[in-house]
Structures are given as C-alpha cells and as structure tokens.
Amino acid sequence: MSSSAILHTANDSSHVQSHFGIDAAMAHRCLAAALVAGGDFAELYFESMTSSSIGIDEGIVKSASASHSRGCGVRVVSGERTGYSYTDSLEEDRLLHAAKTAALIASGPATVQIQGFVTAAVHDLYPVVGLDAEITAKLQLVQRADRAARAYDSRITQVRAGFSDEVKHILVIGSDGTWAADTQPLSRFSVSVLANDPAADGGKGATARGSGGGGGRVTLDYYTTVRTPEYFAEEAARQAIVQLTAEAAPAGEMEVVLGPGWPGVLIHEAVGHGLEADFNRKKQSAFAGLMDQRVATDQVSVADNGTMPGRRGSLNVDDEGTPTRNNLLIENGMLRRYMSDKLSAKLMGLPGTGSGRRESYASIPMPRMTNTYMLPGQDDPADILRSVKRGLFAANFSGGSVDITNGKFVFAASEAYLIEEGKITAPVKGAMLIGNGPEALQYVSMVGHDLQLDEGVGTCGKRGQGVPVCVGAPTIKLDRMTVGGTGS
C-alpha cells in the first residue's frame, strides 16, 4: 500500500515518464524498430495501474484486495492493417521484441519518419489524489451502507456493499509526434440487496433484488458529502421493496416513457454504438452513409462528451493521446458526427473526436463512447406522464443488448410502473423493451428538460474490451414501443 495520498498533477509528463523509465531517445529506438518493415504509424502505450477493493457481505467485512499491473502495448498501423504486441516487462529489450512482433503486419522498407515529440496539452477534469491510503475510511463506508440498507426495511434479508478504486497512469508516444501523459483516478461504490416477504403474493412469498451505486473520477470525500453510503443503500433497498409488490408486466405495443438518468443506456446501446466510426467505415452500422441526413425527430439531440469534470466516462486525453471533446452526434434529428479514433479518422477523412480508447495495454484501441446522453428538451416531465393514457414508465434497466447491424435491441426493466390516465400506478416486473434504434428515434415525441447522467456505474463492452462510461437522458416519451411481459 502506498503511504502517500498525494500523487502528482495529471499533465506532469516528466513524472509519468520516470514512472515507466522511458525517455525520448529510447522511445525513438522502439518506434523505429516498430516501423522497420514499413507502416504508416507506430505507437507505444504505457500503462501502470494500482487498484483496491473492499467488501462487506452478511454484515462482515469479508474481503479486501489490492493489485498492481503495468505493461506496454506496441501498435503498428499499415493502411487498414494493425499489428499489435504487448509486454508486461518494460526493459528495452522486451519493448524492442514487442515492437518487432507488431511490425510483422507490414512488409516493406521503412518509409515513415518519426516526428519530433510534442507534449500534448490535455484537460484537467479530475483530481489526482490517490485513494489507496484511506483503507480504514473505505471500511467505514461499506459498514455504513450495510447498516443503512438493513435499517430501511425489516424485509431486507441480504446486503452486499463494496467500494473499489484505481489509479491509472498512462503515457502515449506516437511516431506522429504524440507524447501525452495522464493520471486517471476512478472509484465506484456498489450496494446490492435482497428483499424477502413470505406474506407477499397472497402468502406464496416473494423475493426481489435491488441495487444502487455510483462514483466517478472523484476524491474520497465525494462519498461522505455528495453521495453517501446511505444514499446508495437506501436506493437499493427502495428498489427491492417496490419490486416485492410488483405485478407481471403487460405485453404488446404501447406508449413508453423512459425516466431520466440510467435509462439513457438505451441511447448508448441503440444509437451510440451505431455512430462509432469503425462500424460505419465497414458499413456494418444501421447509420452508415446517413451523415447530415435526418435520423430522428427534431426533438432528438445526442452528445458524447468526454470533457465533463469528475465523470466516470471523462478523460483528459484518450488512449491514443488525443484530448477528448464534446461531440454533438445528432443535432435536432440530423446526424452530424461519428466518433473516431486515429485509424478511422485517417481512413474516412473525419475530424478526430478524442474517442480512441482501450481496456488496457493488452488491447488495440477502437472508437468508443465516453459520457453519452440525449440533450434536454422543453417538456415538463409531469406533462409527459399526463399525456399517456395507458403505457409503461421505465425507471431503471438491469441489462440489454443491441445488434448494431440492424439496430435491434432488447432491454430488461429492473424498475417499471404502469401509467394509467396520465398517472403512475402499479409497479410491474419482468418488462422487456424490444425495438430498433433508428426506428425508435422516429417515435420520440416528447423530451423533458430534466437531463440526468447516471450515478457512474457503467462499463461498456465492445469486442471483449470493457471501458468505464456514463450514460444519460432526460425523461423521454416514445409513442410506440413493444413491451414483452407475461401479464395482460
């Protein structure tokens, strides 16, 4: 465990540099080895990460763990081809070996000059204070969550709470002159509970789950002042207790209102992935070839914004050394921008959007989302509900999937209610929302002014790589959507 809580400023390149034992001359030698057989571009991505977690289960702090990893990934790009190799030891001979392996993708004489390195100017979006010194403080946080969830209702029978955090140092060095360093803190609190009521459902008994949690690129005091363990625990307990009395969801096509915040995951899945440049370059997206065309009603604007202070999906600089941006993807229904990494930007002639991300040094970067949300509209959320005669209000989703080729998606609502005559009435369980992203965008008829981002719990998966993201949306009304359920 590190004894010092203070690390260093995020854009202090020299510190990160000494962290990895690399200087400009050695970087030049490694990049030259990577480009020895030709190729348009080569890159070294250094990463060092420490992480820790602590968990309470059945009222006992049963687990605590800490880990450290480091490594370097070497990438060579030649046209549309990518060669990649990584090493977890950072001695020059291992780096050179990885560089030569990545170089196997190219076959020709070296042609590209390595540019002089220019230290990238990066954002300053998050604190650079490590959390790992405060283990006893973290222990108290999970104990508080355990107590709060149990105190919420006597029907709460199981409580698990955990706190995990990490600090990641990265250094990206490219043959195009890129030299970018960052220190990225990230933490997350999570609570999951089970509620059990033997008397529910006419004596048959009922069991329900609830979960709460959140975090971001924040300091530990975020969890004592902004979002406390009690806040997350009570949210988890509230969900579970509501679900105890939920009835089977109705099935069929109906009006659907999505609550603000986490339901924005539907935008992320059904729209966001389809706007990642690689899927469009390869004509695999339902949005391919639709730039500057209408893809949604004029109520709909969608942004991917990597520059929000402290957010889980935010980055001072992406994993290719490009500063992140606030990218407006859909503007009043018109498709305006794809999210691109260096490779897609070059091959498609697109502007760089700071969207090149990777899970770790062992992974090839791709266009990815950061914080993705639908922009707020004009409508009062209460008016939106009032406009629905009979429909479903989806307050929270537990999971979902999408096929970007045709935009089809399925989402399971973990908290949903019937809307009858403009009012939220009974809670329902087992509701599945089934639809098609591009089609659903045509049915958005009202957009609330109450934009919320999720609490900071999301991890987006693509081609087996997970990266932290935020999703968000205001209250939204869709005039038609298929709901799968077992009720009537």
Binding-site ranges for other proteins (CB under 8 A): 1, 54, 60-71, 80-89, 97-98, 101, 104-105, 135-136, 139, 157-158, 194, 196, 207, 209, 251-252, 282-284, 286, 362, 364, 403, 405-406, 482, 484
Instruction: Decide whether 403 or 450 has the Cβ nearer to other proteins.
Output: 403
Q: From residue 351, give the alpha-carbon distance in Å to each of 277, 327, 339, 488.
A: 11, 11, 9, 50
Instruction: Decide whether 158 or 326 has the Cβ nearer to other proteins.
Output: 158
Instruction: Decide whether 110 or 288 has the Cβ nearer to other proteins.
Output: 288
Taking the C-alpha atoms of residue 40 and residue 273, their distance in angstroms, rounded to an integer, is 27
Instruction: Decide whether 406 or 442 has the Cβ nearer to other proteins.
Output: 406
User: Nearest approach, Cβ of 423 to other proteins (angstroms)?
Assistant: 25
Report the DSSP beta bridge partners of residue 478.
256, 444
User: Nearest approach, Cβ of 298 to other proteins (angstroms)?
Assistant: 25
User: Nearest approach, Cβ of 431 to other proteins (angstroms)?
Assistant: 13
Contact in structure between 288 and 279 (CB atoms under 8 Å):
yes
Taking the C-alpha atoms of residue 120 and residue 178, their distance in angstroms, rounded to an integer, is 7
Cβ-based neighbours of 366, under 8 Å, separated by 6 or more:
276, 278, 341, 356, 357, 358, 462, 463, 465
User: Nearest approach, Cβ of 49 to other proteins (angstroms)?
Assistant: 10
Instruction: Decide whether 66 or 118 has the Cβ nearer to other proteins.
Output: 66
Token pair recorded at residue 138: 């973290």
User: Nearest approach, Cβ of 308 to other proteins (angstroms)?
Assistant: 31
Instruction: Decide whether 76 or 447 has the Cβ nearer to other proteins.
Output: 76
User: Nearest approach, Cβ of 323 to other proteins (angstroms)?
Assistant: 26
Taking the C-alpha atoms of residue 383 and residue 147, their distance in angstroms, rounded to an integer, is 38
**∠427-374-124 over CA atoms, to 5°?**
120
User: Nearest approach, Cβ of 84 to other proteins (angstroms)?
Assistant: 4
Instruction: Decide whether 49 or 369 has the Cβ nearer to other proteins.
Output: 49
Taking the C-alpha atoms of residue 453 and residue 441, their distance in angstroms, rounded to an integer, is 19
Token pair recorded at residue 344: 């897609």
Handedness of CA 385, 386, 388, 391 (dihedral sign): positive
